[in-house]
């Protein structure tokens, strides 16, 4: 009995060590994302930047913008890497799809999308999306940053992509509405938007929408209404519905083996 207990304790020690070592390695890998600041007029945007292996300004690379959710808001220029960074770090390690990756951070007193939010005791439940209107300060900064980056000679102008989760999923729908000429493909996760706005980017941008069926933070209705509106317009849209997922459907999304191959297969038609 004592021998069994010793083995069990050793197993626990090994597991704890593995847990801390894994987290340490993940934290170390995240440092591959350099800390950057974008200044425009009197405003500042925090963002993290991951360049491809052996990056050269003499070559051209796709550019991916990823928008975090409400839980990762702040000004530490770190929290935005909690969800999604692992997907791109693994791709960096494999060097399968060399690309420039941008993770901006939204302050806690702002929002990516121009949407009216109804707070209740049970959390965010109701959203009213404007068709366009004035962008938030953070969205304006992102658009300005993207305009500057896409002028660089090393950025492939026909392979610019955007994705995001929750608040970032809403931001994804919003930025492709505001910049339909910029993006080749987008993947909003548990987000939403104004269905009347889809005509601005129908057949201009390839979309893959992801949603959890048990989402109790952002109702599945919002993703479904966007997909329905897009399909009515004959848009190029894929839809994956994780029936048993709650709001964290991004975990299932990032485990989708075809996500990055699909994303980088899309080339913007400039005609």
Per-residue pLDDT of the chain (271 residues; tens, 9 = 90+): 444 444 445 545 543 444 444 444 445 578 899 999 999 988 999 999 999 999 999 999 999 999 999 999 999 999 999 999 999 999 999 999 999 999 999 999 999 998 887 766 555 567 888 777 899 999 999 999 999 999 999 999 999 999 999 999 999 999 999 999 999 999 999 999 999 999 999 999 999 999 999 999 999 999 999 999 999 999 879 999 999 999 999 999 999 999 999 999 999 986 5
Do 13 and 72 share a structural domain? Answer: no
Question: What local confidence, expressed as pLDDT, does residue 123 receive?
Answer: 52
Look up the CATH number of the domain holding residue 255. Answer: 3.40.50.1820
Question: What local confidence, expressed as pLDDT, does residue 15 receive?
Answer: 39
**Which residue in 207, 213, 169 sits closest to 190, CA to CA?**
169
Is residue 192, in this structure, part of any structural domain at all?
yes
Is residue 271, in this structure, part of any structural domain at all?
no
Do 88 and 41 share a structural domain? Answer: yes
Do 163 and 189 share a structural domain? Answer: yes
Is residue 127, in this structure, part of any structural domain at all?
yes
Is residue 270, in this structure, part of any structural domain at all?
no
Per the structure, the complete domain to which residue 140 belongs is given by 34-265
Phi, psi of 202 (to 5 degrees): -60, 130
The reported pTM is: 0.87
Beta strands in 99-172 (DSSP E): 100-105, 115-120, 123-129, 155-165
Do 87 and 5 share a structural domain? Answer: no
Report how far residue 172's alpha carbon sits from residue 166's, in angstroms, rounded to the nearest whole number: 10
Do 96 and 20 share a structural domain? Answer: no
Do 201 and 184 share a structural domain? Answer: yes
Question: What local confidence, expressed as pLDDT, does residue 193 receive?
Answer: 94
Q: What pairs with residue 238 in β-bridges? A: 208
Is residue 168, in this structure, part of any structural domain at all?
yes
Do 173 and 72 share a structural domain? Answer: yes
Burial class (CB in 10 A: 0-12, 13-18, 19+), 115: buried
Q: Considering its fold, how many domains does the chain have in total?
A: 2
End-to-end CA distance of the chain: 75
Report how far residue 151's alpha carbon sits from residue 170's, in angstroms, rounded to the nearest whole number: 26
Tokens of 232: 């009515």
Tokens of 261: 């191959």
Report how far residue 2's alpha carbon sits from residue 231's, in angstroms, rounded to the nearest whole number: 65
Report how far residue 77's alpha carbon sits from residue 9's, in angstroms, rounded to the nearest whole number: 39
Question: What local confidence, expressed as pLDDT, does residue 106 receive?
Answer: 98
Report how far residue 42's alpha carbon sits from residue 230's, in angstroms, rounded to the nearest whole number: 38
Question: What local confidence, expressed as pLDDT, does residue 122 receive?
Answer: 58
The runs of H, that is alpha helices, within 196-254 are: 220-232, 250-254
Is residue 9, in this structure, part of any structural domain at all?
yes
Is residue 252, in this structure, part of any structural domain at all?
yes
CB-CB contact of 264 with 99 (8 Å): yes
Tokens of 149: 């980056």
Do 116 and 12 share a structural domain? Answer: no
CB-CB contact of 114 with 175 (8 Å): no
The runs of H, that is alpha helices, within the chain are: 2-30, 85-94, 137-149, 167-178, 220-232, 250-254, 259-265
Do 66 and 2 share a structural domain? Answer: no
Do 64 and 23 share a structural domain? Answer: no
Do 236 and 138 share a structural domain? Answer: yes
* H and E: helices and strands count for the chain: 7, 10
Question: What local confidence, expressed as pLDDT, does residue 24 receive?
Answer: 46
Do 88 and 164 share a structural domain? Answer: yes
Report how far residue 148's alpha carbon sits from residue 33's, in angstroms, rounded to the nearest whole number: 19
């Amino acid at each position: 009995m004592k021998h069994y207990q010793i083995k069990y304790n050793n197993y626990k020690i090994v597991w704890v060590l593995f847990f801390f070592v894994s987290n340490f390695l993940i934290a170390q890998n995240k440092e591959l994302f350099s800390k950057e600041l974008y200044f425009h007029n009197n405003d500042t945007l925090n963002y993290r930047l991951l360049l491809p292996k052996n990056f050269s300004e003499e070559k051209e690379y796709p550019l991916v913008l990823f928008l975090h959710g409400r839980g990762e808001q702040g000004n530490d220029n770190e929290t935005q890497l909690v969800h999604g960074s692992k997907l791109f770090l693994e791709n960096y390690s494999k060097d399968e799809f060399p690309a420039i990756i941008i993770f901006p951070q939204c302050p806690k007193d702002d929002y990516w999308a121009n949407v009216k939010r109804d707070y209740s005791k049970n959390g965010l439940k109701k959203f009213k999306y404007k068709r366009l209107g004035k962008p938030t300060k953070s969205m304006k900064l992102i658009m300005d940053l993207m305009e500057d980056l896409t002028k660089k000679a090393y950025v492939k102008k026909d392979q610019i992509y955007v994705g995001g989760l929750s608040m970032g999923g809403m931001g994804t729908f919003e930025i492709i509405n505001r910049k339909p000429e910029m993006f080749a493909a987008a993947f909003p996760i548990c987000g939403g938007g104004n269905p009347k706005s889809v005509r601005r980017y129908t057949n201009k941008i390839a979309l893959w929408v992801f949603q959890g069926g048990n989402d109790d933070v952002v109702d599945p209705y919002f993703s479904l209404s966007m997909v329905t509106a897009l399909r009515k317009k004959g848009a190029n849209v894929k839809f994956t519905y994780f029936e048993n997922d709650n709001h964290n459907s991004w975990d299932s999304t990032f485990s989708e083996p075809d996500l990055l191959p699909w994303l980088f297969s899309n080339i913007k038609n400039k005609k």
